[in-house]
Structure 1
Amino acid sequence: MSNETPKAPPLYPKSHLLAASGIAALLSLALLVFPSSEVEAKKTTLSLELESPADQLKDESSAAPLVQAGNEQDSPFAQIDGAESNTAQANETKPEAKPEAKDPAHREVTVASGDTLSTLFAKVGLPANAVHDLLASNKQAKQFSQLKHGQVLQFELDKDGQLASLHSKVSNLETIRLTKSAKGYTFDREISKPVVRTAYAHGVIKSSLSASAQRAGLSHSMTMDMAKVLGYDIDFAQDIRPGDEFDVVYEQKVMDGKVVGTGNILSARFTNRGKTYTAVRYTNKQGNTSYYTADGNSLRKAFIRTPVDFARISSRFSAGRKHPILNKIRAHKGVDYAAPRGTPIKAAGDGRIELAGRRGGYGNTVIIAHGNSYKTLYGHMQGFAKGIKTGSSVKQGQIIGYIGTTGLSTGPHLHYEFQVNGVHVDPLSQKVPMADPIAKNERQRFLQQSQPLVARMDQEKATLLAANKR
């Protein structure tokens, strides 16, 4: 019996140990080549942000799997990186979006220079007789032939390629449509109702009222309205000077956040040669609307100061002027307003037409009787407005004719005369009678409406001036 202690048999065969060593080496190598899953997820996310080709995404996703958010709850980045990685996978597998196929039954054309309804029908493949059928089927269909450059017409065709409906937006607020029926075409008009809000404008005259108003954001029609409202006190043909300024609060029409038009002037203020005139719009309990001063006196007078807007005075009232054609001294019993041929002429006041026709050297002439005491004469007209004839009635501001050169005239202008009890007076110096002020029983109601409007102009102007000083 030997005294040597027997050796314990090895726990693992040598071949197993060698295999384990080899696996450990391979794992170490793998860790060097393939980093941890968390780092790989971030790297993949970064590469997705910088490199977008689809084939590169496929190569990287096959090299190492992206980490899911649910498997990385212990990591502070797991939810973010996992979500981004999932998004990347979704983007990778999502098929490319295909453009939507156009509806073959729908056609849309934009009116270009020289286009007619026939050329537009031809562009969408409709025969020439389709235009005739459309216009003959409904009296209002002819509105589609009144085309504007840039207007869009939309056609809907039936299964046989024939016109089923046609519609177009003719303004920001109006759309017209023709729809085919058993009896032809049915016409529809859709009027959108805008939101009405108030707006403010301020301007200082530098060269002309129209240029200053345009800089202030007022349209031409709004500028004309302002001149009409204040035209009883300010002669916009000769009184405007550089440095004059104006404030206006007016209605603004809005659709889908865009301004589509303007409404009434609610209040206006004009400082002319240092004197300020204010107008406030007011509708009384009977529904009659007019403009008044801030304290309730009527702005409307029996006569407006000038019958032509923005005209130039070419000759004034004079007892001894040399006539440019007759070449001799002859009293000039009126005022001449020079303006382009065709400029509208307005009646200075309400009245009845005594004459609308030819009168010697005056050429085409209108004479209006305003009650028993006053008469006005308008000479050298190119022609008369529709409905103007001897014996008819006219309203103040109504268009009665247009500037021309008929009679003894050297150029297009209006010769305007003003008579009081048969005596010629200078219309530029004549004090005209006033209309009635606000009724006593409506004064409180008027002030409740007018005072906030005047305060609005004061506040807006102060804010604007303060902003300009910064």
Structure 2
Amino acid sequence: MQQRIMHLVEYIKNFVLNHYPRQYVYGASVLTILFLAVVFLPSPSENKSENGQRNIPLAIDLSQTELETNISSGSQLSTTQNLSDFVVPQGTPLHTLQGTLQGTLQGNTAEPEPMLADVTLWKNVEVESGDSISAIFTQVGLSAQDMFKVLNSSDEAKVLNRIYPGYQLDFMIPDEGELEQLRLFKSPLEGYLFTLREDSYDVETILKQPEYRQNFKVGTINDSLFMAGQREQIPTQTIMEMANIFGGVIDFILDPRTGDDFSILYEEKYLDGQFIGNGEILATRYTNQGRTFTAIRYINEEGEEGYYNIEGESMRKAFLRSPLDVFRISSNFNPRRRHPVLNTIRAHKGTDYAANRGTPIRATSDGRVTHAGRNGSFGNLVVVKHAGGFETKYAHLSKYANGISKGDRVRQGDIIGYVGSTGSATGPHLHYEFLVNGVHKNPRTILDQLPQAVSIDAAEMDRFRTQTTGLLQRFSDLNETRLLTLNQPSAD
């Protein structure tokens, strides 16, 4: 029976399409539907859903062309919608059903719902080596005039003139094409927000506070501190900083022995649950040939931080024992050394540290840069003047650290350049000289004659103990737990 009905519907549709104008198609379709609904409407006990609705199958097969008018007029009907899925509440009058179907098939006369507002997206650029601010502005579709408008808006905007690889720049550019906002992130925690206000840009500083978590590691020396740190998955920068902390009391080339051990407690930084970097060393310990050195971080009333032993004596000597963290000595201070290039007896007035090209070079003490440039056989040279008549020289650099130039102040441990082979160097190494009142001294022996940096004053010891006692106890407990774990008998 149903098959005959379907044939009848198809016959009526084809007949109307062939003999009547298209506008009558919808009328004929509606009449056919009403006829079938009256004749074959199920009884109240049939096709009843749980919520009291009836499912009435409507077998209508409209072509794509016949639906185009409805779709273009804003109808809710799509070409993929199945008309047999209409649900009609029980008791719906036929004239209501007729109106509903006519509204669906002939197009909804109501205004179409407004589209979602256009979403303005940020254009994100991560600064890479060789990038310039002008090139980045061009890359995102902005002009030089747009760039200068931002640069001239405030003193803070000058930071855009000195961008470095890893910086993040985010541009908000609406459809009008004018820069509305610019975010500059120097790190995940620090940046600036520039916002268009009339004909200039206001600037806000972005400072985010990370979550700090503590990590504790231990290691044993089989070859070098650096290799031991790598085995224990200690970040390279952290192990280098540890070497810097003990740099006034341990020479990590000559002093370490197989079997030396160390432990370190340091911070890790998280933002929104994501790891973003390592923080400061809180406490560290190194046992060298039976002597144990412990260093703990302390911040004084002026906000200056340093590392001290448990008695409050500074771990920091007046000078670091070496300006490199990883190296081997290729040539010592020698007043009568035969020059490797000239083959003549010529005083070697410093110490040569062989290291890979690009190895960071640290200032061995606080001071002021008096020279940063090319200097004959020295190649790229940095000279630092220190208090007390001391002077240090760093030669054959491949390049200078960012921001290092004549007149700059540097602190002990600051990176001032990188190992290279400029000038008359036969291979990558650092030539390091140490002068006292203009006279060259052996940097490897003179240090023992120099005083320590200032330790904590007696009046400040109470503050020191209050700040460090809890941390020292935690560090001690972690070390004890580690020893107990190592000394437990095997399960076998």
**What is the TM-score of this pair, normalised by structure 1?**
0.61
Matched, 1:213 2:229: yes
State the alpha-carbon separation in 2 of the partners of residues 148 and 365 from structure 1.
25
Residues 461/380 of structure 1: CA separation in 2 closer, same or farther (3 Å cut): same
What are the superposed Cα offsets for residues 167-188 of structure 1, whole Å, 9 maximum, x if unpaired? 6684533565554543265554
SS of the residue 1:231 aligns to: helix
Counterpart mapping for 1:194-273 below 5 A:
194-205=210-221, 208-214=224-230, 216=232, 218-240=234-256, 243-273=259-289
Residue 326 of structure 1 corresponds to: 342
Q: Is the 8 A contact 1:244 1:271 kept in 2?
A: yes
Flag as ranges the 4+ runs of structure 1 deviating above 6 A. 61-66, 112-116, 144-152, 352-360
What are the superposed Cα offsets for residues 185-210 of structure 1, whole Å, 9 maximum, x if unpaired? 55545322223454433333455544
Q: Is the 8 A contact 1:346 1:400 kept in 2?
A: yes
Matched, 1:448 2:440: no
Matched, 1:192 2:208: yes
SS of the residue 1:322 aligns to: coil
Residue type of the alignment partner of 1:450: T
Residue 322 of structure 2 corresponds to: 306
Residue 135 of structure 1 corresponds to: 147
Residue type of the alignment partner of 1:255: L
State the alpha-carbon separation in 1 of the partners of residues 264 and 231 from structure 2.
13
Q: Is the 8 A contact 1:269 1:277 kept in 2?
A: yes
Residue type of the alignment partner of 1:192: K
Matched, 1:277 2:293: yes
Residue 479 of structure 2 corresponds to: 461
State the alpha-carbon separation in 2 of the partners of residues 148 and 359 from structure 1.
29
SS of the residue 1:456 aligns to: helix
> Quick one: which of 101, 116, 119 aligns to 1:105?
119
Matched, 1:336 2:352: yes
Counterpart mapping for 1:286-297 below 5 A:
286-297=302-313
What are the superposed Cα offsets for residues 287-340 of structure 1, whole Å, 9 maximum, x if unpaired? 443221122212121211012232321112345543211224444343101234
Q: Is the 8 A contact 2:127 2:169 kept in 1?
A: no
Q: Is the 8 A contact 1:135 1:142 kept in 2?
A: no
State the aligned residue count: 367
SS of the residue 1:436 aligns to: coil
SS of the residue 1:411 aligns to: coil
Residue type of the alignment partner of 2:219: G
SS of the residue 2:477 aligns to: helix
Residues 381/195 of structure 1: CA separation in 2 closer, same or farther (3 Å cut): closer
Identify the range of structure 1 (344-353 vs 411-420) with the bigger mean alpha-carbon deviation. 344-353
Residue type of the alignment partner of 1:297: E
Matched, 1:438 2:456: yes
Gaps of 5+ in 1: 1-60, 67-92, 94-100, 122-127
Identify the range of structure 1 (298-307 vs 194-203) with the bigger mean alpha-carbon deviation. 194-203
SS of the residue 1:332 aligns to: coil
Q: Is the 8 A contact 1:195 1:254 kept in 2?
A: yes
Residue 29 of structure 1 corresponds to: none
State the alpha-carbon separation in 2 of the partners of residues 131 and 460 from structure 1.
58
Identify the range of structure 1 (138-147 vs 403-412) with the bigger mean alpha-carbon deviation. 138-147
Residues 119/402 of structure 1: CA separation in 2 closer, same or farther (3 Å cut): closer
Q: Is the 8 A contact 1:238 1:313 kept in 2?
A: no
SS of the residue 2:443 aligns to: coil
What are the superposed Cα offsets for residues 418-451 of structure 1, whole Å, 9 maximum, x if unpaired? 3557765432233132233322222233233333
- Displacement of 1:235 in angstroms is 2.6
What value does the CA root-mean-square deviation take over the aligned residues? Answer: 4.5
> Quick one: which of 163, 183, 188 aligns to 1:172?
188
State the alpha-carbon separation in 1 of the partners of residues 347 and 386 from structure 2.
24
**What is the TM-score of this pair, normalised by structure 2?**
0.59
State the alpha-carbon separation in 1 of the partners of residues 370 and 144 from structure 2.
48
